[in-house]
């Protein structure tokens, strides 16, 4: 294949993705709330647009559009691998069709297509670590698919209908448990998150933006669909379990994100955190609907929906930003970056806004979802249910801790990456960002600011989604002179005025700046940073990324599995060593303590099974297949029927 052909394939793929993103962005408005049937050979493929799928289609197609525009120039990095850009539209379309599908077969076909195309995208860099990450992703995804399929089979047996239309409010606890477990594996919730931090760093940045900001949402869509449409709302404890796992996931994710120095790995852990926050909203909402606390339910549901959108916008821009850094500096390691704010002016401002948005700094959109979650959690402590009071107090504690650590983690990300002196020669020679890259990051960042400052149209739209799913009204009212994001009139707890907040802060900023400008000496002189009077230029003397999280890591040392090593020439006396190497490895404690032992056990059992069953005789193999079929039949007869 010549380079001309490869470029042609790449650009074709990118333009198809852009077209698909744009088309499906407007698709729900062209065909509002319609059903589609495509009669293909074995089964008809059926699709339906309802308010829930509209929300997710808009998110997926928006993110795909942004990232595809970004790929126009970023794609040149993968000039030798044009198949990435052919797989991307397939990946995007399969995500959209999963959300649209209206029966089991269609859902599972596109779910599997989505998993497979993303698997090929994960391994597309072809390095050993991306192959390893791909294998882990493949295994985890298919464990999830097994659970989802089992849930669907049980749904089919219960309703004898393949279409989602027949599943309204019939799923019992077994089905809900199976399917939510399956979707949680894909979403990367706390105990099942291990694949995420491996898959994201190994994947091209544009693909990890889509995976983290869109694909994870498809799994969340599954959870919402199963819980709120299929599920019987009579299991309050299921809601509490989701709330607790969400809180644990948020805490665990951000604790690990804090100590990472690889930008993309850090962002992957932050995805786990945000999925946890979304699950908290979903779980609390399900609990509230199950115990007929409709107000808390709709507030928490609003928190979950808002956080889904906000996380997608800010995370996609951050992953695209990490792509820009990889492209221009050739490093994902924070310790090798630094000083980029002076070289990439506009881009660094965009990145700062995205970072502020994801760490929930008030006037921006990230705060909005968390505010709703806090309000609904405080509402839950005022009910008469003892269990939810306990668990919402624990959740408030974990959520506030998460919020504070998120601030630290993202201040570290921005501060170490963009501020200070350049930490390596690579960072000193960093290239400039292209205009298309800037535009494609600007779009989601602009939406972050717009939603944060003026969320009212979005909230009334989300009210519609909430109304569709639960039949209760959402949480908005415009009262008085200022626009407020308010809780209900009959639950007049609190209100938040984002427009007033931002105008207050900006007004004080301008008044303060003008007053200080008038009354102060405006002379400005540039000089070296104070270095204890030492003249020597030493960029390694500034604070490092791993140093920035050291204090917190020491206090919470039980949460980390950390190994550090210092290498030096022992022959030379202490103060005269020329080279000292410090290396540090911080692993995921769950992976080390739980997943690795399980892996070893499975490998051992498989070894035994191999030695027993691997006889080389065809008859014996046929016998085993027959026995397996009989076993399945017995399970069907005695357990399912």
Partner 1 sequence: MDISLNYEKLLLGILQFIIIIALAPFFAGLIHKLKQNFRGQKGINMFQFYFNFGKLLRKGVVLSDEASYISIISPYIILSVYLIVLGMMPAFYIYSLFSRLSDIIVIVYTLGAGVFFLTLYSLDQGSPFGGLGGEREWFFTMLSEPSLIFIFITLAIYSRKGMLVSIFDFIQKNALGGHFSIAIPFILLISLFILGLSENARIPIDNPETHLELTMIHEAIILEASGKYLGIFEYSSYIKLSIFLTLMSLIIFPYIAYTPIDIPLALGLYIFKMAMFCFMISIVESLNPKMRLFRAPNLLSIAFIISLIAMILSIRGV
Question: For residue 343, what are its two tokens?
Answer: 């070289």
Query: Least distance from C-beta 320 to partner 1, angstroms?
Result: 21
Instruction: Identify whether the C-beta of residue 370 lies closer than 8 Å to the C-beta of residue 376.
Output: no
Question: For residue 184, what are its two tokens?
Answer: 């949680």
Name the nearest CA neighbour of 280 among 318, 250, 243, 319. 243
Query: Least distance from C-beta 603 to partner 1, angstroms?
Result: 40
Report DSSP state, residue 213.
I
Within residues 416-455, the interface with partner 1 by CB under 8 A covers 416, 418-421
| Closer residue to partner 1 in complex, CB, 542/561 | 542
Q: Using CB under 8 A, which of 349, 436, 450, 589 touches partner 1? A: 349
Measured between alpha carbons, how far is 41 from 34 in angstroms, rounded to an integer?
Answer: 23
Confirm or reject binding of residue 539 to partner 1 (CB under 8 A): yes
Q: Using CB under 8 A, which of 400, 429, 478, 621 touches partner 1? A: 400
Q: Partners of 499 in the beta sheet?
A: none
Instruction: Identify whether the C-beta of residue 268 lies closer than 8 Å to the C-beta of residue 201.
Output: yes
Q: Using CB under 8 A, which of 202, 266, 277, 375 touches partner 1? A: 375
Query: Least distance from C-beta 544 to partner 1, angstroms?
Result: 8
CB atoms within 10 A of CB 406: 26
Confirm or reject binding of residue 346 to partner 1 (CB under 8 A): no
Confirm or reject binding of residue 3 to partner 1 (CB under 8 A): no
Q: Quick check: helix, strand or coil at residue 510?
A: helix
| Closer residue to partner 1 in complex, CB, 58/356 | 356
**Residues whose CB falls within 8 Å of the CB of residue 297, separated by 6 or more in sequence, listed in order:** 284, 285, 286, 287, 288, 289, 470, 472
Q: Using CB under 8 A, which of 127, 342, 432, 593 touches partner 1? A: 342
Measured between alpha carbons, how far is 564 from 460 in angstroms, rounded to an integer?
Answer: 52
Within residues 568-597, the interface with partner 1 by CB under 8 A covers none
Confirm or reject binding of residue 351 to partner 1 (CB under 8 A): no
Q: Using CB under 8 A, which of 286, 544, 559, 560 touches partner 1? A: 544
Which one of the spans 62-70, 140-148, 448-456, 538-546 is the region binding partner 1 (CB under 8 A)?
Answer: 538-546
Q: Using CB under 8 A, which of 524, 566, 598, 637 touches partner 1? A: 524
Measured between alpha carbons, how far is 347 from 345 in angstroms, rounded to an integer?
Answer: 6
Confirm or reject binding of residue 166 to partner 1 (CB under 8 A): no
Query: Least distance from C-beta 323 to partner 1, angstroms?
Result: 22
| Closer residue to partner 1 in complex, CB, 320/406 | 406
Distances (CA, A) of 413 to 216, 260, 380, 450, 532: 23, 9, 34, 24, 27
Measured between alpha carbons, how far is 254 from 6 in angstroms, rounded to an integer?
Answer: 40
CB atoms within 10 A of CB 57: 21
Query: Least distance from C-beta 566 to partner 1, angstroms?
Result: 19
| Closer residue to partner 1 in complex, CB, 72/341 | 341
Q: Using CB under 8 A, which of 167, 549, 560, 588 touches partner 1? A: 549
Measured between alpha carbons, how far is 566 from 560 in angstroms, rounded to an integer?
Answer: 19
Q: Using CB under 8 A, which of 360, 445, 462, 586 touches partner 1? A: 360
Q: Quick check: helix, strand or coil at residue 245?
A: helix
Report DSSP state, residue 433.
P
Binding track, positions 471-510, relative to partner 1; x by CB under 8 A: ---------xxx-x--x-----xxxxx--xx--xxx-xx-
Confirm or reject binding of residue 541 to partner 1 (CB under 8 A): yes
Measured between alpha carbons, how far is 532 from 547 in angstroms, rounded to an integer?
Answer: 20
Give the distance from CA 440 to its chain's centroid. Answer: 19
Query: Least distance from C-beta 510 to partner 1, angstroms?
Result: 9
| Closer residue to partner 1 in complex, CB, 231/403 | 403
Burial track 138-150 (b if 16+ CB lie within 10 A, e otherwise): bebbbbbbebbbb
Within residues 300-319, the interface with partner 1 by CB under 8 A covers none
Confirm or reject binding of residue 607 to partner 1 (CB under 8 A): no
Query: Least distance from C-beta 290 to partner 1, angstroms?
Result: 17
Confirm or reject binding of residue 563 to partner 1 (CB under 8 A): no
Question: For residue 245, what are its two tokens?
Answer: 């796992």
Instruction: Identify whether the C-beta of residue 256 lies closer than 8 Å to the C-beta of residue 196.
Output: no
Confirm or reject binding of residue 356 to partner 1 (CB under 8 A): yes
Distances (CA, A) of 404 to 247, 306, 359, 409, 505: 14, 20, 8, 9, 21
Q: Quick check: helix, strand or coil at residue 189?
A: coil
Query: Least distance from C-beta 549 to partner 1, angstroms?
Result: 7
| Closer residue to partner 1 in complex, CB, 153/396 | 396
Question: For residue 459, what are its two tokens?
Answer: 């909230």
Q: Partners of 581 in the beta sheet?
A: 567
Query: Least distance from C-beta 494 to partner 1, angstroms?
Result: 2
Q: Using CB under 8 A, which of 157, 173, 234, 397 touches partner 1? A: 397
Query: Least distance from C-beta 247 to partner 1, angstroms?
Result: 12
Measured between alpha carbons, how far is 229 from 170 in angstroms, rounded to an integer?
Answer: 9
Confirm or reject binding of residue 383 to partner 1 (CB under 8 A): yes
Measured between alpha carbons, how far is 57 from 21 in angstroms, rounded to an integer?
Answer: 9
Q: Partners of 496 in the beta sheet?
A: 485
Which one of the spans 62-70, 111-119, 371-379, 577-585 is the region binding partner 1 (CB under 8 A)?
Answer: 371-379
Query: Least distance from C-beta 237 to partner 1, angstroms?
Result: 19
Instruction: Identify whether the C-beta of residue 64 lies closer than 8 Å to the C-beta of residue 217.
Output: no
| Closer residue to partner 1 in complex, CB, 60/368 | 368
Q: Using CB under 8 A, which of 554, 593, 600, 604 touches partner 1? A: 554
Query: Least distance from C-beta 423 to partner 1, angstroms?
Result: 9
| Closer residue to partner 1 in complex, CB, 140/552 | 552
Binding track, positions 132-151, relative to partner 1; x by CB under 8 A: --------------------
Report DSSP state, residue 75.
G
Q: Using CB under 8 A, which of 42, 425, 526, 565 touches partner 1? A: 526
């Amino acid at each position: 294949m010549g380079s001309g052909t490869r470029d042609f394939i790449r650009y074709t793929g990118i333009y198809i993705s852009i077209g698909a993103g744009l088309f499906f962005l407007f698709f729900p408005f062209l065909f509002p709330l319609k059903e589609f049937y495509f009669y293909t050979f074995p089964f008809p493929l059926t699709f339906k647009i309802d308010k829930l799928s509209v929300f997710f289609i808009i998110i997926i197609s928006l993110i795909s559009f942004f990232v595809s525009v970004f790929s126009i120039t970023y794609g040149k990095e993968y000039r030798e691998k044009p198949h990435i850009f052919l797989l991307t539209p397939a990946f995007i379309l399969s995500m959209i069709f999963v959300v649209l599908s209206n029966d089991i077969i269609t859902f599972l076909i596109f779910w599997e297509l989505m998993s497979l195309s993303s698997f090929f995208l994960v391994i597309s860099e072809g390095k050993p670590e991306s192959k390893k990450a791909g294998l882990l992703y493949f295994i985890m995804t298919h464990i999830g698919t097994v659970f989802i399929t089992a849930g669907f089979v049980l749904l089919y047996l219960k309703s004898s209908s393949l279409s989602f239309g027949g599943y309204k409010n019939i799923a019992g606890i077994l089905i809900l448990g199976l399917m939510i477990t399956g979707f949680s594996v894909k979403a990367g919730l706390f105990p099942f998150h291990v694949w995420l931090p491996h898959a994201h760093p190994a994947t091209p940045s544009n693909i990890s933006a889509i995976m983290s900001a869109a694909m994870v949402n498809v799994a969340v869509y599954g959870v919402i669909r199963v819980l709120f449409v299929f599920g019987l709302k009579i299991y309050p404890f299921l809601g509490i379990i989701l709330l607790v796992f969400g809180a644990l996931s948020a805490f665990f994710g951000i604790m690990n994100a804090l100590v990472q120095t690889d930008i993309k790995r850090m962002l992957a852990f932050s995805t786990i955190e945000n999925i946890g926050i979304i699950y908290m909203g979903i779980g609390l909402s399900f609990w509230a609907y199950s115990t007929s606390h409709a107000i808390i339910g709709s507030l928490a549901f609003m928190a979950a929906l808002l956080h889904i959108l906000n996380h997608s916008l800010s995370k996609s821009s951050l992953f695209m930003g990490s792509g820009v850094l990889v492209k221009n500096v050739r490093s994902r390691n924070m310790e090798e970056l630094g000083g980029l704010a002076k070289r990439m002016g506009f881009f660094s401002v965009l990145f700062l806004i995205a970072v502020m948005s994801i760490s929930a700094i008030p006037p921006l959109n990230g705060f909005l979802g968390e505010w709703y979650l806090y309000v609904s959690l405080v509402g839950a402590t005022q009910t008469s249910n003892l269990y939810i009071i306990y668990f919402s107090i624990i959740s408030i504690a974990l959520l506030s801790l998460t919020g504070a650590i998120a601030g630290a983690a993202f201040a570290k990300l921005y501060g170490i990456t963009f501020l200070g002196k350049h930490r390596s020669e690579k960072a000193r020679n960093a290239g400039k960002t292209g205009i298309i890259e800037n535009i494609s990051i600007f779009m989601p960042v602009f939406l972050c600011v717009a939603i944060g400052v003026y969320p009212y149209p979005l909230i009334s739209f989300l009210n519609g989604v909430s109304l569709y799913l639960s039949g209760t009204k959402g949480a908005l009212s415009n009262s008085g002179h200022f626009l407020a994001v308010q809780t209900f009139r009959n639950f007049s707890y609190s209100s938040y005025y984002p427009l007033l907040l931002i105008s207050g802060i900006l007004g004080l900023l301008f008044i303060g700046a003008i007053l200080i400008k008038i009354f102060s000496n405006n002379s400005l002189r540039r000089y070296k940073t104070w270095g204890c009077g030492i003249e020597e230029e030493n960029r390694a003397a500034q604070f490092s990324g791993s140093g920035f999280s050291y204090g917190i890591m020491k206090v919470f040392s039980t949460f980390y599995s950390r190994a550090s090593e210092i290498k030096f020439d022992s022959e030379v006396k202490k103060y005269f060593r020329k080279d000292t190497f410090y290396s540090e490895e911080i692993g995921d404690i769950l992976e080390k303590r739980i997943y690795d032992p399980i892996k070893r056990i499975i490998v051992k059992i498989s070894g035994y099974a191999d030695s027993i069953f691997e006889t080389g005789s065809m008859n014996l193999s046929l016998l085993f297949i027959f026995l397996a079929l009989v076993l399945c039949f017995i399970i069907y007869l005695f357990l399912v029927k």
